Structure formats: C-alpha cells, structure tokens
Structure 1
Amino acid sequence: MGNADYVYPSNVECSHRVAIPPPQPFVKSLKYSLKETFFPDDPLRQFKNQPPSRKVILGLQYFLPFLEWAPRYTLEFLKADLIAGITIASLAIPQGISYAKLANLPPILGLYSSFVPPLVYALMGSSRDLAVGTVAVASLLTGAMLGEEVNALENPKLYLHLAFTATFFAGVFQACLGFLRLGFIVDFLSHATIVGFMAGAATVVCLQQLKGILGLDHFTHGTDLVSVMRSAFSQTHQWRWESGVLGCCFLFFLISTRYFSQRRPKFFWISAMAPLTSVILGSLLVYLTHAEKHGVQVIGELKKGLNPPSFGDLVFVSPYLTVAIKTGIITGVIALAEGIAVGRSFAMFKNYHIDGNKEMIAFGMMNIVGSCTSCYLTTGPFSRSAVNYNAGCKTAVSNIVMAMTVMLTLLFLTPLFHYTPLVVLSAIIISAMLGLIDYAAAIHLWKVDKFDFVVCMSAFIGVVFGSVQMGLVIAIALSLLRVLLFIARPRTVVLKNIPNSMIYRNVEQYPNTNNVPGILILEIDAPIYFANSSYLRERIARWIDEEEDRIKSTGETSLQYVILDMGAVGNIDTSGISMMEEVKKTADRRGLKLVLANPGSEVMKKLNKSKFIDSIGQEWIYLTVGEAVGACNYMLQTYKPNPKKNEAERWNTV
C-alpha cells in the first residue's frame, strides 16, 4: 500500500491509467507558449522547404498582399471594382467633408484622407471588401482630446499640426502592434464594450450636430449631454428656422432612402448616392436662393489641388507631444477595433480569411503615410465598407478607383462645394450615426448576459454624460474586472450521476441526477493560479462541510471520498500545487480520500515534478469520473470504516 491509512484498489479493473508526460526542456516549453501567443497562425510555415528565390517572393507577398492576387486579376474583376469604387466615392466625398468638420479640421482634409490612405491600403491590406476613409467616432475623439489643449478657432495652425502628429503616432502604434504580433490587445475591447461605446459616441455626435441644424455660430466644445443641451437652449434667440427646416428635410430624405435600401437590398445604391445627392441639391438650392445671406452657413472656398506634404508640420516638442501621443494611441486603438471587426465580418460572408496582424500593419502604414500628406486618422468604416460589399467589389482595387475619383474631385471639382450648406453635412452625419445605435444588440445582451448589458450601458452612459474618454475607460475597466472575476472566482460545481448511465453532470443543469453514496464529486472549471488558489481551497472545504451536513440530516452513508474532476483545469502554477497539497491534508484530517479525475498533461507534468502524485498515489488518478467512481464504489463494498478508530485509522479491511 502506498499510504498506511488506505488500501488502494490495485485490483480494480480500469481501462487505462493517466499517463505522466515526459519532461520537456524549459526553453522548448517557453518557445511553444510564445509561439501560441504571438504566432498562432504560424506565418513561417509557408517558407519551409522553399528555395531562396521563392522565400523572397513569399516575403514580399506577406507584406504586400496585392502581389498575391494581382497576377490573377481579370477584366471581370475590374468591371465590378469600377462600379464599387465609384459608388463608394459618392459616399466618401460628402462623408469626408462632414467628418473633418466634426474633428474641427478644414473640410478639405476629409478629401485628402480619402485619397492617399486608400492607395496604401490597396497595396498592403488583406481585406477585399474594406473601404478606407475617415470615421465619425475617431473624428469626434480627435476633436475632443486635442480641443482640451488647443482651441481650433484661436490657434488653427497648431491644432492642425497636432492632428497630423496624433495621426502619425496612431500609425506608429498600429504598425508596432502588427509587427510585434500584439493584435490580441484589441480583443480586450469586448463586444458589449464596443456596442455601448459606439452607441454613446453616435449619440454625442448627433447632439453636436445641433450647431449645424440650428445654424448657431458659437457652440460648446464639451461632448456631454448636459453641456450640449445647455449650449443649445441658452441661445434660443439665435436659432435660425431656415437652417432648421432645411436640415430636417434633408435628414428625412436620407433616412427614407436608407430605409428603402434596407427593405430592397437590390437598390442599395440609392442609399449610397443619397449623401452626394443631398450635397448637390443643397448647394444648388443655396446658390439659386442666396440662402447664405439669410442665415444658412456654407462651407466656403475649398482649396483646389492634391495633398500637400505635411511631414515638416509634425510636432515632436513639448508641451504638446504628450497630448499628441495620447490622442494617437486612443484613437488608434478605436480605429483598429472598428476596422478589423468590419473586415472580419465581411470576410466571413465571403468565406475568406484576413490576418489581423497584417491589417494592423496596413492601417499603421496608411496612417503614417497619411500624416505626412495632410491626412488625419483613417480606418475601415462600416457604412462605406457595406456599400462596397453590396456594390459587388472583388478586390481592393475598388479603393484605388475611389481614390482616383477623389483625386479628380480635388483637381477639378472642389469649387463646386463652395455653396454646400453646413446643415446638409450635419444631416449626413446624423443619418450615418443613427445606424451605429444598435438597440437590438443591447436588448440581446440583456436577455443573454446581464453583466455584459451593464458593461454596455456603462460605456453608453459614460460617453453621453461624461466624455468619450471616460466612457471608454469605464467600459474597459468593467470588462477587465469581469476577466479578473472569472480568473479569481472560478466555478466549482457538484456532479451527480445521471440515472442508468456512467455519466456525471452538474446538479444545477440536471436536477434529476442521483447522489453517489459516500462520494462527493466536484468539478473545477478553470486553470488554478495564484489568483484563485486560496478561494478554491476554501470553496472545496465548504463543499465538504455542506455535504457532511446534508448526510447527517438524511442519515445516508458517511462521506468517504472526494473526487476532483480536473478536465477543465488547463494549467496549474506553484500556488495551485500548494492548494492541492492543503486540500489533501484537509481530506486526510477528516478521514477522507482525495481522488483526481481527468487531469491534463500540463497539470500531470507539474504535479509529478512537485511529488504530489507520489503523496496521493498514481493509482488514485483516473481518466474519467466514471472510472474514479467505480474504483471508490469497489472500495466501499470491499472495505468499511471502523467508527471505534480515530480518523487517521478509520479504514480496516473486512
């Protein structure tokens, strides 16, 4: 016998014994862990057994994906991409101008940002459907964060230079995440966080458009609901009914066309063309009626010509360097989360794969290049990408077509936007933002997971009543808190027998299960680490106390065995091993036998190195809970406890 207090069931028939994996060198184990963390897709596998020339070609294709699909490009693809590119350009031009105003930047920057970055992405991006451009949330964040340090009206030149600098640091941060294979950081923005944050940001953006809809000259720089409402209603004497009527009419037109396109997907182009149609109609209306002389504000002169270089405008000196870096990192993370999520969604529809790390590198490079060519932050907006997808795009050439269309606009058509009313741009922004308020997703969260709903609403309330940054911080903090709770307070459940089977399941899920006399079966539902080892030790002790109290009240067979189902325990650290040793000591003091079922290879490896297996006996470790219960039942039938002995000597043979 391996233990003086117990007779081991060496003659119990078991199909298999749990094997102890052979020891592995620490360097090999560390290498495997790092590979699974940073290179789960094994990007180097395609280079194996390849001649040097082929490796060079594959390396170029990895960083420039267009080299992979360009040789297979056909005329049919070109026709589809031409239609898609022109269609998204009709949406990109008015949206670009609108979002630049949202960021308190010159409207022409919106067109600049729809020219150079799409060309870079077409060469480096791995998504066929993503349409690159500026987005409302990142524009709002840029305006809010930079506006805290520099007033865009009082010092427009410095503000503009800081916007370029923030874009540069956003690009550097995004590219570094891609090169260092740190894309998993973006995964900390949970679905609930994004739903709440986007809805809150969309609400704030809509509220900010009251300035354009009401025709106000001065408006608060705050983004919270209270500041916006106070600013709007404290200037009721300056409201311009002409601007309000015009804004409501165009907003109704935009919402109606979107509703029609949603009901009739074949007519998606109607909704896509609606913003540009609104700009054209609004400009004609103002030009013919001279409405700019009656309170309707217009864009004014737009500079003709392509993007001027802006590398010399980047600000790398204090005291503004800190705010530029902070703005770049925060907006860069939000842009990455949105762009990668959108790209993966459409890739799933067409059944192809996009590499998240490649996308980060592509986003980073297009923003670095953009910051040097008078562009501000760009990513893959959902609205533009959806139009690109519905228009039947085949490759990233649709981005090139869009960029060329914007280039022609910059060279020849910018004077036509002189009479474009700002209220039309506000209507375009509001119409686009309403689609980001996903109330159906919030209702779904409430039905499925109340904690996720709390995270979602916290992000929404934080953005609407505090600030965009506050809402983001609150949401991320709550999401991380939940992760910590999962780790620090893992579930342990009691398993019982499903009648007429050798299957053991959670009694909460299967209330008709039967007790196993004399045996307590517990399932640990998470890896055992320093963060949860103390809790698990105390919780297992409480399960034992509760089971013994139940047995005393019912008069059943006294508790003799505690089986721990460790199938879900993927790993264990030294604190966890210490916890297991303490649980065994607790069981020994109570005259109970600790039995393990289904421990994984990593767990067995560490339990063996720590000599815990020697102390418990390998014959008390089983592949399944059924085998462990069978062995314990055999012992209960063959041997019985002697109540006259103390607990350390309870077991005697019959």
Structure 2
Amino acid sequence: MGNSDYHTPRGVAVPPPKPFCWAVRTALKETFFPDDPFRQFKNQPPSRKFVLGLQYLMPILEWAPRYTFQSFKSDLVAGITIASLAVPQGISYANLASLPPIVGLYSSFVPPLIYAMFGSSRDVAVGTIAVASLLLTSMIGGVVNPYENPKLYFQLAVTATFFSGVLQTALGLLRLGFIVDFLSHATIVGFMGGAATIVCLQQLKGMLGLVHFTRGTDMVSVLKSVFTQVHQWRWESAVLGCLFLFFLLLTRYFSKRKPAFFWINAMAPLMSVILGSILVYLTHAEKHGVQVIGHLKKGLNPPSLSDLAFGSPYLVTAIKTGAVTGIIALAEGIAVGRSFSMFKNYHIDGNKEMIAFGMMNIAGSCTSCYLTTGPFSRTAVNFNAGCKSAVSNIVMATAVMITLLFLTPLFHYTPLVVLSSIIIAAMLGLIDYEAAIHLWKVDKFDFVVCMSAYIGVVFVSVEIGLTIAVTMSMLRLLLSLARPRTHVLGNIPNTMTYRSIDQYPNANTVPGMLILHIDAPIYFANSNYLRERITRWIYEEEDRVKSCGEANLHYVILDMSAVGSIDTSGMSMLDEVKKDLDKRGLKLVLANPGSEVMKKLDKTEFIQNIGQEWIYLTVGEAVGACNFMLHTCKRTPPTLSMPPAVELTAQDNV
C-alpha cells in the first residue's frame, strides 16, 4: 500500500453516495418503523397479505385459532378473580371522578371486550385508574361543577375520553409512540406518588362522612376543607372506614408474605363491599350519618354518542383533559404490559397497544364509559391468577355484564366509606418511596425531577405538577445535548487502549499530544460550547506541560467514535478549531469518525482541507502516526506532509 519505511495507518473510507429518495426513505423507516413490522408481508400473495393485515390490526385473529380448552380454564379463573376487583374498583374510581357509580361498571364492560380484540398483551387487565379519575375531577371539575350540573359534566367526561382515544389511536397508527418516552421514570414516580397522596387526602371526605368538600386538588385546600368542618365529622363513618382500611391492608400484607394466597388480597375489596352493605342494611347506619351509594339502575351501557359535546363552549377543556389523561394512560398501560410480558418472555408491540387503548376509549366514549387503560393492580392480579390470554378480559366483562343486568340493586346499601377505604388502600401502593430513595442514590437530578413532580402535584395541582416534571426532564435532555461531555484520554499501560484519565487514573497522557473524546453528536446547540471547551482543554494542557517541564504540545487528536452525526454548524466549528490550531502551530487529527460524519466532511471539503492522511480509524493508529512524525522527522508537525498510507501493525504502534 505504499513505502513500508513509513508507519502510517490506513485511511477512513467515505461511504458511497446514495440517492436522496433512498436516504429519506431509510431515515423515515428507522424513525417510525425500527422493528420493520411489514417484513411478514414480503413475497406474499394478495389474499395472504389481506389476512396478515387483519391479524396485525386485530391480534385475536392470530391466536384464537390456536386457543385451547386448557388455556380457557386458566383464563376463566383469572377473569372471575379480576372481576371481583373490577366491580368495587370501578364504583370507587367513578366516585373519585365525580361521576355516577354505575359509569364505573360500564367502563369495566365494553372497553375490555374491545381490548381483547386489538391488544397484543396476554396479561393486561383493562379498567379505570385513579390518576385519570383525579385529573377529570381536577380539570373538568374546575370549569363545571359535577354536582350542580351533572349532565354537562358527564358529557365533557365522555368527550374527553373520545379525544383521548383519538390521540392514542393516532399515535399508534403514525408510529409516534416514542412521544410517551418523554415521561421519564423519575417523572412517573413523582407524579404517581403525588397523585396518590392527593387521592388519599380527598378520601377523608368519605372517611369522615362530610357532605360539602372542596373541588381543589392541592393539599392546602383539602386539609383546610377537612379541618374547617370538624363539627361535621361523623365518628360512625370514621370507625367503619378505619376498620375496613385495616382489613384491606392486612390482606395485602398477608398476600405479600404468602404469594400463593394472592386471591385473598384480590377478593378483599369485594368482600369489603359485601360486608359493608350487609352491616349498613342490618344496622340502618344510613340513618346515622353513613352515606351509601343508593340506587343503581339495571341494564347494559346506554349509548352516549349524542352526549359528545363537540359544540360545547368547554370543548377546549375537554380536548386538553383528553390529551393529558390519554398520555398518562398510555404511559401506565404500556409500561405495565411490557413489565409483565418480560416475565413470560414474549414481546408486545407498543404501537399496537396504543391502537388498542385508543379504540377501546373511542368505543367507550360512545357507550357511557370514561377513560380506561391497563392498571397495574388489576394486571398484577390477572398475572398471578394464571391468565393465558386476553380471554380473561372477556370473562371479566361477562361477569360485569351479569352484575349490570341482575346484581346492581345489591349495591344500594354499599357505604361510601368502604369505597374510600378501597381507594386509599390501592393508592398507598403507588407511593413508591423506595424508588425515590433509589433515585437519590443513583442520580440526584432524577431525584430532583421526581420531587418536583411530587411537590407540584401535592401543593399546586395535578396539571402543574406534571408540567413541572416534564419541563425539567426536557430541560435535562436539552442540557445533555447542549453541554455534552468531553474527556481527556490516556493510554492504559502495556495496551493500545485509550480511556478517560478521570475514570482510569493509571492511564498515561501521551507526550506532545492532547487526546479528546467528544461524547455526543455535534449540532448547532452545542457547537459553540464544544469549540470553547476544546480551546480551554488546550490552554489547560499547555499550562500543565509548562509546569511539568514535559514536551511541548504538537497534536490535538479528537476521538469522534461517539459522534453519530453532525450538522453544518458542527462542520463550521471543526473548521474554526482547525484554523485556531493552525495559528498556534498545532495539528488537528481526527480518529474514528462515523459514516454520517464522513459524508459531511467530504461534502464540505473538510477532508481536503485537513488532509485525508490526518483521519484515522482508531486513536491508537492516530497516536502511532503522530509518534512516528515526532520522533522521525524532528520538526514542527503542521509543516509536514504525510507519506502514502500503509497498513499499521500493533508492533508499529507500540
């Protein structure tokens, strides 16, 4: 490859040019279809493509033909088990959402049937969630009083559910699921914990038998409402609530200690409802300050298409509520589905899940339901009960249907305080203080994000807390892009490996060279910072060399192995750095630029400017070539022209 007397490395290749349309198509595919979902359609006849398309949209068509009676027996047990949890939870969460209790049962009938057809998870059990219920009360209840104008409030609730479904479906069809990823783990931990705290505090209304209560969702408003009505507290209600709360927490503790008895915890809410109803019926406690649900009408979900308030002056509030609750529901549902799929070693498609959640909420909004997703509590019970497929959701929906048709009168005497106890017991599990402690140990900034979300939700409002947390997470992302890390590299003794001297104190700097590693793509947002930071590294290295009496600095080697891409501002930055180094009598050397970077270097003629011979495959090759020039030529590097490239051996570099 050249004169063997010279020991210079082989050059870095520039990728061959590609057509513009091919580049655009490839970029779109990698952005929106990284899993290549259409590979199964290749080389298939039209009839087969049609069948595969239906199976892709409705996974039930794929697994139903292989479904066995043995699986049905497992799903039957799981479905009945989660139905025992779904009925009391549905009523409780509807009450939390300031909706009629029957709406909670409606929401546990139609949406699970839709999800069974469109969902890709075998374990997710569909139902309402406390956070979405609280958001409905907070956002819609802030403009329409649910007790003074219940009809309009219900219309706005189903309208918000409709827009949630539309958003979720659109995100799935457009393959935009990565938007949900902007809700970081720290954000979710803090937000869920704050929402759970507020939900628990709001249940003091039911626990104390209060009639009038604040519509605010911050801690100050709730506690003020509680303690300004001390004279209206009902000790009968408080005693009953504490007894049932103790029972629920005791069953949870026992089930955790004895996992085989998980069903005890799952059945505890329904048992509480039954026991509470019997107790109230026998003692006529409703006449002594214990509030009860009252009449629940029989029958299946009435249509609510005509109730969608598209012409309401509060439509903007409904849309905003639908967007916020829809994103929160997606984040929880997909995270829950992925978590449990890992236990059974199968894959779920996040975009399919979005479509499934969206379709069931669109259908739910037309059948008197409010927002549903895959809550952790029901899914955990479904998983522990041994479910095999989404048929467990169908079984649960069937059990709820029977309840709606025949059993709703039995809930007349169900005390509201029992519903409050059920909600508090469920919410206490969402205050994950162990996760917050872990965040503090691992990443202080994530802990700050978590606590910001928690404090914002608890002391201001649910929406403000979520906004603060998301803003801080986005700020961190922008800071990581705008202020990427740079490291000085040194040689690990007796190897050709170069690592950060901060991480590896035994790494030795190379005389006459400053080796810098850039740890991020170079864009307009960070190009000025990188130029200034590189200049600062050079100043510091020159000062260190003078103070230690070492050889003068001759080369600045930029390790670009982590620079996945670069824009025109980044190219201008490199050009400015090179000009500045030329003025100082130093030589710029690049090591391991990627294919995208090489394309830009070639198109801007930077390669011709710096010289192909000053771009190397590895840091080791760059150091070897620079050492060769220093020790052989004995002259200032920038005035030298490099010889033809040849293969470099390990012995040459050493």
* TM-score strictly above 0.5: yes
The alignment status of 1:354 with 2:348, answered yes or no, reads yes
The alignment status of 1:166 with 2:160, answered yes or no, reads yes
2:66 to 72, 92, 108: 72
What is the total number of aligned residue pairs between the two structures?
642
Q: Equivalent residue for 1:451?
A: 445
1:607 to 578, 601, 605: 601
Letter in 1 for 2:591: A
1:54 to 19, 40, 48: 48
The offset of 1:652, in angstroms, is 13
- Give the Cα–Cα distance (whole angstroms) in 2 for the partners of residues 313 and 554 of structure 1: 80
Q: Equivalent residue for 2:652?
A: none
Q: Equivalent residue for 1:367?
A: 361
Q: Equivalent residue for 2:553?
A: 559
The alignment status of 1:377 with 2:371, answered yes or no, reads yes
The offset of 1:420, in angstroms, is 0.3
Letter in 1 for 2:63: W
Change (3 A) 1:11 1:231: farther
Change (3 A) 1:50 1:649: closer
Contact 2:158 2:307 in 1 (8 A): yes
Letter in 2 for 1:470: I
Q: How does 1:19-98 map to 2 (within 5 A)?
A: 19-98=13-92
Letter in 1 for 2:423: I
Change (3 A) 1:408 1:518: same
The offset of 1:23, in angstroms, is 0.9
Contact 2:490 2:498 in 1 (8 A): yes
Q: Equivalent residue for 1:140?
A: 134
Q: Equivalent residue for 2:512?
A: 518
Contact 2:591 2:617 in 1 (8 A): yes
Change (3 A) 1:625 1:239: same
Q: Equivalent residue for 1:586?
A: 580
Contact 2:587 2:638 in 1 (8 A): no
Secondary structure in 2 aligned to 1:215? coil
- Give the Cα–Cα distance (whole angstroms) in 2 for the partners of residues 188 and 632 of structure 1: 44
- Give the Cα–Cα distance (whole angstroms) in 2 for the partners of residues 242 and 296 of structure 1: 7
Letter in 2 for 1:449: D
Q: How does 1:248-267 map to 2 (within 5 A)?
A: 248-267=242-261
- Give the Cα–Cα distance (whole angstroms) in 2 for the partners of residues 652 and 415 of structure 1: 92
Contact 2:449 2:473 in 1 (8 A): yes
Contact 2:486 2:516 in 1 (8 A): yes
2:204 to 198, 204, 210: 210
Contact 1:9 1:635 in 2 (8 A): no
Q: Equivalent residue for 1:481?
A: 475
The offset of 1:32, in angstroms, is 0.9
Q: How does 1:89-238 map to 2 (within 5 A)?
A: 89-238=83-232
The alignment status of 1:300 with 2:294, answered yes or no, reads yes
Secondary structure in 2 aligned to 1:484? helix
What whole-Å deviation, never above 9, does each CA across 1:405-431 have from its counterpart, x for those lacking one? Answer: 000000000000000000000000000
What whole-Å deviation, never above 9, does each CA across 1:197-222 have from its counterpart, x for those lacking one? Answer: 00000001000000000000001100
Contact 2:116 2:393 in 1 (8 A): yes
- Give the Cα–Cα distance (whole angstroms) in 1 for the partners of residues 201 and 638 of structure 2: 73
Change (3 A) 1:648 1:395: closer
Contact 2:456 2:466 in 1 (8 A): yes
Contact 1:595 1:620 in 2 (8 A): yes
Secondary structure in 1 aligned to 2:499? strand
What whole-Å deviation, never above 9, does each CA across 1:161-200 have from its counterpart, x for those lacking one? Answer: 1111110111011101111111010000000000000000
The alignment status of 1:247 with 2:241, answered yes or no, reads yes
What whole-Å deviation, never above 9, does each CA across 1:602-644 have from its counterpart, x for those lacking one? Answer: 10111011100001111111111011000011111012247xx
The offset of 1:10, in angstroms, is 9.2
Q: Equivalent residue for 1:635?
A: 629
Secondary structure in 1 aligned to 2:140? helix
User: Structure 2: which 5+ residue stretches go unaligned?
Assistant: 644-654
2:270 to 260, 271, 276: 276
Secondary structure in 1 aligned to 2:99? coil
The offset of 1:318, in angstroms, is 3.9
- Give the Cα–Cα distance (whole angstroms) in 2 for the partners of residues 247 and 638 of structure 1: 88
- Give the Cα–Cα distance (whole angstroms) in 1 for the partners of residues 411 and 382 of structure 2: 24
Q: Equivalent residue for 2:648?
A: none
- Give the Cα–Cα distance (whole angstroms) in 2 for the partners of residues 263 and 352 of structure 1: 28
Letter in 1 for 2:284: H
Identity %: 76
Contact 1:640 1:651 in 2 (8 A): no
Contact 1:162 1:315 in 2 (8 A): yes
- Give the Cα–Cα distance (whole angstroms) in 1 for the partners of residues 55 and 145 of structure 2: 44
What whole-Å deviation, never above 9, does each CA across 1:550-572 have from its counterpart, x for those lacking one? Answer: 11111100000000000000000
The offset of 1:499, in angstroms, is 1.0
Change (3 A) 1:236 1:548: same
- Give the Cα–Cα distance (whole angstroms) in 2 for the partners of residues 511 and 648 of structure 1: 31
- Give the Cα–Cα distance (whole angstroms) in 2 for the partners of residues 12 and 599 of structure 1: 23
Contact 2:613 2:642 in 1 (8 A): no
- Give the Cα–Cα distance (whole angstroms) in 1 for the partners of residues 642 and 334 of structure 2: 65
Q: Equivalent residue for 1:466?
A: 460
User: Structure 1: which 5+ residue stretches go unaligned?
Assistant: 1-7
Secondary structure in 2 aligned to 1:57? helix
Letter in 2 for 1:500: N
Letter in 1 for 2:246: F
Secondary structure in 1 aligned to 2:515? strand
Change (3 A) 1:11 1:526: farther
| TM-score (normalised: structure 2) | 0.97
Contact 2:190 2:454 in 1 (8 A): yes
Q: Equivalent residue for 1:404?
A: 398
What whole-Å deviation, never above 9, does each CA across 1:320-354 have from its counterpart, x for those lacking one? Answer: 11011011111000000000000000011111111
Change (3 A) 1:376 1:9: farther
Letter in 1 for 2:102: I
- Give the Cα–Cα distance (whole angstroms) in 1 for the partners of residues 472 and 342 of structure 2: 29
Q: Equivalent residue for 1:4?
A: none
Letter in 1 for 2:153: Y
The alignment status of 1:321 with 2:311, answered yes or no, reads no
Letter in 2 for 1:294: H
- Give the Cα–Cα distance (whole angstroms) in 1 for the partners of residues 473 and 417 of structure 2: 38
Contact 1:200 1:463 in 2 (8 A): yes
Contact 1:641 1:651 in 2 (8 A): no
The offset of 1:227, in angstroms, is 0.4
Contact 1:225 1:464 in 2 (8 A): yes
Secondary structure in 2 aligned to 1:522? strand
The offset of 1:379, in angstroms, is 0.3
What whole-Å deviation, never above 9, does each CA across 1:232-266 have from its counterpart, x for those lacking one? Answer: 00000000001000000000000010011111111
Change (3 A) 1:242 1:472: same
What whole-Å deviation, never above 9, does each CA across 1:414-458 have from its counterpart, x for those lacking one? Answer: 000000000000000000001111111111100000000000000
Secondary structure in 2 aligned to 1:526? coil
Contact 2:198 2:458 in 1 (8 A): yes
- Give the Cα–Cα distance (whole angstroms) in 1 for the partners of residues 334 and 6 of structure 2: 55
The offset of 1:17, in angstroms, is 2.3
Letter in 1 for 2:231: H
The offset of 1:583, in angstroms, is 0.6
Change (3 A) 1:11 1:232: farther
The offset of 1:16, in angstroms, is 3.4
- Give the Cα–Cα distance (whole angstroms) in 2 for the partners of residues 439 and 200 of structure 1: 11
- Give the Cα–Cα distance (whole angstroms) in 2 for the partners of residues 115 and 54 of structure 1: 33
- Give the Cα–Cα distance (whole angstroms) in 2 for the partners of residues 650 and 633 of structure 1: 13
Secondary structure in 2 aligned to 1:495? strand
Contact 1:65 1:124 in 2 (8 A): yes
| TM-score (normalised: structure 1) | 0.97
Q: Equivalent residue for 2:334?
A: 340
Contact 1:491 1:525 in 2 (8 A): yes
Contact 2:280 2:286 in 1 (8 A): yes
Contact 2:9 2:625 in 1 (8 A): no
The offset of 1:27, in angstroms, is 1.8
What whole-Å deviation, never above 9, does each CA across 1:3-36 have from its counterpart, x for those lacking one? Answer: xxxxx99954356321111011222111111111
What whole-Å deviation, never above 9, does each CA across 1:503-547 have from its counterpart, x for those lacking one? Answer: 110011001111210000000000000110000001000000100
Contact 2:251 2:264 in 1 (8 A): yes
Change (3 A) 1:295 1:549: same
